[in-house]
Amino acid sequence: MIADLDFLSSHPFVRSTARDKVFGTIFGSALGDAIGLYTEFLPQHEAERSYPLRKFSLISPVTPVRSDSHRSKFYTKNAWTDDTDHALLIILSYLHNEGKISPRDFAARLQIWIEQGLRCLDRPPMGIGQLVGGVVKDPAFLESPEDVARKRWIKSGRHVAPNGSLMRTHPLGIMCVGFDLEKTFRIAADMSVVTHADPRCVVACCISTALIRGILRGEIVVEADVDAILQQAYDWVKAQPELLDPGQDAELTPREVAGLLDLKEFERHVHAKSWDDLKLDSAQQIGYVYKCLGCAILALRLGMRQTASHFPTSPDVFEDLITDLIMCGGDADTNACVTGAILGCWVGYSCLPPTWSNGLTHGEWLGKKTGRLCRMVGVACGSVEAVKEIDADTAPDGGKGLLSKEELDRRERDIILMILTRDKERKEEEEGEKQKAQGKGFGRWLKGISGSSSVN
């Protein structure tokens, strides 16, 4: 499937740099996801109150996660969430099918994930999005995922455009490194519409995928190159009738069809000047795909400016930008997952903060899969055949078989018990802190009484 990888031979360092950037993409995304969980769904002021030092570490001493009902659901410390799981489904499908990109195989794996989770790592399905859950659980999903997604979008009034397909698309940028831009856009679109038919979701996926492809190929080196991809992706989706107006609804006027991919709305997000411009913690639009895309583009622009003025690139660039992003609150893990992929591709794995990368749960496993991905796409030298026998976990069931109903029920009970136990511990801790604070106040009051009586 590899079309054009001649660029890898242009200089002895190009291949090693491309490999570093592939690892930066996959690990940057997973790290953004894991760090983003610290502030996911918090308003900005609450994120700042909970983490006043604005520093996070996944190695000892690990930064403690804020104790609340949302974060208590995630029982594995220092781990990514469903965002990275979904991206891994695309990677595992690609590896298992020896370099074939198959939206249908991904759809089948996603249906397994909804019930079973990520079997290869025994990860339960935590954080199922409302749209993804509704589409995948439809009885007709496997027969025609695109039709189910399209009908659900139309039924919603053509307004629902969440970030669920954008958060998983970044591996496609690596897989498309040898393809032309037209084919890259088509592959990204085909994978998006498995669950997300809205043209805003599609154009966002096209942009993320194309940016990663372009950075890997050395074709995106300045902000003008980013702007060119933004325009090309927008124009391409606009020119595809089946993507611009899913369902080809005759009831819509030409103006209404054009409004489905409004240029001003698009430009307002991809040309944001600051995090504040994006209002990432807005409760009404917390998972809006353009917000997620906008923060990734902004971070890339800022990263380009910082790396242009400082050589070599410091790990602080990635850490500081991702930290600034997640401290805005909102859908922080998904925003940082998407941003981490693109920014990680730009700076490379060697410039990711070691206090994050060295503490990521399942990091060694992820490294092995990324290494094989590099070999499969042709970025790294080496035989794919040599690792086939030990890569059984790329199968849809993770090489372990699917859990029975009894096993699923038992796991669900264990998770519920864990959540209830953590909630109980959290409430006891809060009550203890409250009583402690009241005790201090009472002590100060007594001291004041004692002091005033001694004066008299």
Q: Is the pLDDT of residue 20 over 90?
A: yes
> Do 340 and 24 touch, CB atoms closer than 8 A?
no
Give residue-wise pLDDT tens across range 64-120.
Answer: 999 888 988 886 889 999 999 999 999 999 999 999 999 999 999 999 999 999 999
> Do 317 and 326 touch, CB atoms closer than 8 A?
no
Which amino acid appears at position 178 of this protein?
Answer: G
Q: Is the pLDDT of residue 126 over 50?
A: yes
Is 331 marked within a binding site?
A: yes
Q: Is the pLDDT of residue 444 over 70?
A: no
Q: Token digits for 10?
A: 């242009």
Tell me what the mean pLDDT of segment 161-174 comes to. 98
Q: Which residue would you say has higher pLDDT here, 434 or 320?
A: 320
The CATH classification number of 6-400 equals 1.10.4080.10
Q: Is the pLDDT of residue 451 over 60?
A: no
Q: Token digits for 81?
A: 């969430």
Q: Is the pLDDT of residue 235 over 90?
A: yes
Tell me what the mean pLDDT of segment 206-235 comes to. 98
∠ Cα 416 363 66 (to 5°): 45
State CA 266 to chain mean position distance: 20
How much is the pLDDT for 132?
Answer: 96
How much is the pLDDT for 452?
Answer: 46
What whole-number percentage of the chain has pLDDT above 70?
93
Give buried/exposed letters for 267-301 (b at 16+ CB in 10 A, else e).
Answer: eebbebeebeebbbbeeebbbbbbbbbbbbbbbbb
Tell me what the mean pLDDT of segment 341-348 comes to. 98
Is 249 marked within a binding site?
A: no
182 to 229, 235, 341: CA distances (angstroms)? 11, 11, 21
Is 82 marked within a binding site?
A: yes
Look over the chain and give the mean of its residue pLDDT values, rounded to a whole number: 92
Ranges of each domain in the chain: 6-400, 404-446
- In 3D space, the residue among 359, 348, 395, 338 whose CA is nearest the CA of residue 83 turns out to be 338
- In 3D space, the residue among 159, 253, 234 whose CA is nearest the CA of residue 197 turns out to be 159
The neighbouring-strand residues paired with 288 are 162
CA separation for the pair 76, 123 (Å, rounded): 9
> Do 238 and 260 touch, CB atoms closer than 8 A?
no
3-state secondary structure of 185: helix
- In 3D space, the residue among 145, 207, 203, 197 whose CA is nearest the CA of residue 176 turns out to be 207
Give residue-wise pLDDT tens across range 259-269.
Answer: 999 999 999 99
What whole-number percentage of the chain has pLDDT above 90?
76
Q: Work out the number of other CB atoms within 10 angstroms of the CB of residue 238.
A: 17
Helices (H), 310-404: 315-326, 332-347, 354-357, 363-377
- How far apart are the two ends of the chain, measured CA to CA in Å? 93
How much is the pLDDT for 456?
Answer: 40
CA separation for the pair 31, 322 (Å, rounded): 9
CA separation for the pair 219, 206 (Å, rounded): 16
Contacts of 137 (CB under 8 A, 6+ apart): 114
Residue 431 banded pLDDT, cuts 50, 70, 90: confident
311 to 268, 306, 349, 382: CA distances (angstroms)? 32, 9, 16, 31
Give residue-wise pLDDT tens across range 46-65.
Answer: 999 999 999 999 999 999 99
Contacts of 423 (CB under 8 A, 6+ apart): 69, 72
Q: Is the pLDDT of residue 454 over 50?
A: no
150 to 153, 157, 193, 238: CA distances (angstroms)? 5, 11, 8, 17
Is 333 marked within a binding site?
A: yes
